A = this chain, B = another copy of it.
């Protein structure tokens, strides 16, 4: 027989679908592609020009200024490499309406009679200028170019201001980067910021490498700083062992 898709001949044992199903599937694919085009064009319409590409004075109709205040007291907490080095970073212009629409925290801040609402100036603590700019850019465009460091800094900010979409986006990237070298750090981070998907992925990698766990520096640090998290690793590991054993038993008895 001849395949209608790749136009090559194939044997009966390599048969896939009947003609009707093939045609249906082709139609479905076309429909899905049309839906994607349609959605993409509506998405592009809704994207807003990000004011982060402009300085505060020239951003049109901007009615808000955001100031990044890096945490000089605890370097490393927010990935703020420029903390202290450059304390007088420029303000990031923005629009009250946009921030209030994207974040319930900004909404509460701006729609009530709070200092920020009166002054039109919001200080964003423990964050570098670059992270703040990327954060604001995302609020307007639903787009951000992330490396791992930026993803974890942004995740923290997204959690603080309850921007769920951005938190999920960062978490997805971090989850895709989990490996044996960073699993313990990611595990502790995910715990701190209630990132369930990242927690599961990193815990799974940690459990796959239990034999070398205790030798790791990050492990020793975690035992020092937050031993309860270490306990949870062991509990999950034990749990998995018990389940695996139960699975094997069930397998054996069904073979008998």
Contacts and interface: CB of A to CB of B under 8 A. Distances in A.
Interface of A: 1-6, 8, 10, 12, 14-23, 25-26, 28-29, 32-33, 35-36, 39-49, 60-63, 95-98, 100-102, 110-111, 141-142, 165
Contact of A43 (B17, B20, B43): B43
A5 B17 contact: yes
A10 B19 CA distance: 9
A43 B96 CA distance: 20
Given A3-B18, A22-B22, A46-B48, 4 more contacts: A3-B21, A4-B15, A15-B15, A36-B36
For this chain, the copies found in one complex come to 2
A45 to B, nearest CB: 4
Is chain A's interface secondary structure helix, strand, loop, or mixed overall?
helix
A6 to B, nearest CB: 5
A137 to B, nearest CB: 13
Contacts of A96: 60-61
